[in-house]
Amino acid sequence: MPGKRKPVRPASELNLNHAMVYSRDVAASLPFYAERLGCKLIEEFKHEGRTVYARLRSPKGSSTLALHQLEPGQELHAGGVRLYFEVKDLDRFCARLEAAGVQFTQKPKLMPWGWRHAYLNDPDGHEVSIYWAGPKRFRPTRFKR
């Protein structure tokens, strides 16, 4: 039949390794990711003396995150995407963040799907989850009531 397409076979070598987060003020967001969460700064690009882009590497693993300045006149729409960072000693890590002045929208809590999560927002209002799933991360979810 015309118009019928053959299904595309997913590439087994595909690896999600990078995410870009748009920011009103990259210089203000950078300390949150670098100093609070411990991401390692790979590069910082300035234009006319203002930081407009920064790329960071996860403290563990090989994924990277970029902070990108919004174009002039554009609005930032936070929400729709939540960043997840996994850490084994969730309670200790969150206590350290709280001692540094980070405010949580939810402190560490066991969720119905069996993972422990804490939620907070970055300086631009993007949701961030700090969690621990361990080996459950690659298993089907089982809800508990």
Could you tell me if 142 and 113 are in contact, meaning their C-beta atoms sit under 8 angstroms apart? yes
Count structural domains, the chain: 2
Residue 105 lies in a domain: yes
Please indicate, yes or no, if residue 5 is contained in any of the structural domains: no
* Confidence (pLDDT) at 129: 96
Residue 36: give the domain boundaries. 17-71
Q: What is the pLDDT, as a whole number, of residue 5?
A: 74
The residues facing 65 across adjacent strands are 19, 56
Q: What is the CATH number of the domain that holds 136?
A: 3.30.720.110
Q: For residue range 36-78, what is the model confidence (pLDDT) as tens digits?
A: 999 999 999 999 999 999 999 999 989 999 999 999 899 998 8
Domain assignment of residue 9, yes or no? no
What pLDDT score was predicted for residue 122? 96
- Say if residue 130 is exposed, middle or buried (CB neighbours under 10 Å; 0-12, 13-18, 19+): buried
> CATH number of the domain that 25 lies in?
3.30.720.120
Same structural domain, 37 and 91: no
Please state the pTM of the whole predicted model. Answer: 0.85
Say whether both 102 and 50 belong to one domain.
no
Digit-coded pLDDT (tens) for 9-34: 766 777 788 999 999 999 999 999 99
Average pLDDT, the chain: 91
- 58, 94: one domain: no
Q: In what order do the strands lie in the sheet with 50-57?
A: 18-23, 64-69, 50-57, 40-47
Kindly state whether residues 145 and 90 are assigned to the same domain: yes
CA 18 distance to own-chain centroid:
10
Whether residue 88 sits in one domain with residue 67: no
**141 and 95 both lie in a single domain:** yes
Last residue in a domain, options 71, 93, 117: 71
